[in-house]
Amino acid sequence: MIPPRFVRRVALIPLLVVVTAVAVVVGAPLLLLGLVVSRGRRRVARVTVIAVSWLAMECVVLCAALALWPAGGDPETARERHYALCGWFLGRMYGVATRALGLVIEIQEPLNASSDRPVIVLSRHAGPGDSFLIVHFLLNVYGRRPRIVMKAALRLDPAVDVVLGRLPNVFVTGREEPGGRVAAEIGRQAAALAGRDALLIFPEGGNFTPRRRVRAIRSLRRRGRRAAAERARGMTNVLPPRGTGTLAALAAAPHADVVFVAHTGADDLLSPRDIWRNIPMEQPLRARWWRISHEEIPEEDRERWLYDWWETIDAWIAENRPEQG
């Protein structure tokens, strides 16, 4: 349960400003200390650069959002300005991450940027920051305007709360049942897709971990879904997809193509200790995009079709997962 919007505004935004001010003051000597003391991988210096950059740019985004608030204009213009602001933030942070962390991304068969047909993007979820990278590519590389289905807890981040709260996104508070409020909202957003819009869904409902995979399989069995549980057992690199939101989107947007996204390279970064050990990154993040025309999407048994594609994603990850040194 997240606090009401008024509480988030009056408490979290000032807190962000204070934390950023402290980080900027402390960051300079910490960066110098990290460069002098740390040898080789210079983890302290790299993490300092990332943390201070993120906090400072969040404050810039909030100032820009404040300026956009009374700007007025038609809703479409306001939406474009907020998408541009999101693209600016993600583009700058992507640049910082490539330099500070050694981040390299290799994409096979990327989304066709020249097409003006809307798309529903269904991505696996694994590793820290994968959702930000996908949104960055949708916005800044492929020129899409993403509507994102995300956890409501992200609204505890003031920049996410303010900027993404003004855009047509869906915030999910918990497990959704068929016909529920979230599924209806996902369907509404999907039905409104047009032109270069994209609806981004993570059907697994959370980041992949081996424990979550085991729990998800047990949950399927408890609910009597033994066939789905058996298929999930055969997929060792992904969580079984939850079909509620995805099926609602497909039903509401028969005019949209579907893009499946697989990625690997950050699968084993399950804890802060794992992340720390892997700074800087020595292996590239690899991704694969498959685009399915709306004419090729089956009318019946779409949940089976979704599982078929998730098995394809699982197999691709197994073949492309970087060797651990």
Please give the pLDDT value at position 2: 87
Assessment of whether the complete model's pTM goes beyond 0.85 = yes
Question: Are 63 and 53 a contacting pair, CB within 8 Å?
Answer: no
φ and ψ at residue 311, rounded to 5 degrees:
-70, -35
| Model confidence pLDDT, tens digit, residues 67-94 | 998 766 788 899 999 999 999 999 999 9
318: left (phi over 0), alpha (psi -120 to 50) or beta: alpha
Cα 279 to Cα 33, 201, 264, 317: the distances in Å are 17, 29, 17, 22
- Where the chain has pLDDT below 70, the residues are 38, 71-72, 110-114, 175-179, 324-325
In this structure, the strands spanning 145-151 and 285-292 are unpaired
So what's the pLDDT on residue 241?
96
Tokens at 281, concatenated: 């990154």
For the chain, the first-to-last Cα distance in angstroms comes to 41
User: What Å distances lie between residue 176 and 45, 248, 274, CA to CA?
Assistant: 42, 12, 31
CA dihedral over 70, 74, 200, 102, signed as positive or negative? negative
Among the CATH numbers 3.40.1340, 2.60.40, 3.40.50, 3.40.1130, which is that of 74-320? 3.40.1130
Q: Are 207 and 127 in contact (CB under 8 A)?
A: yes
Which token pair is 93?
Answer: 């942070």
CA–chain centroid gap for 81, Å, is 21
> Residue 294: what residue type?
H
Each residue's pLDDT tens digit, 299-313: 999 999 999 999 999
Phi then psi for residue 107, to 5 deg, are: -115, 130
**Spatial separation of the C-alpha atoms in residues 146 and 136, rounded to whole Å:** 10
* Whole-angstrom distance, CA of residue 93 vs CA of residue 60: 13
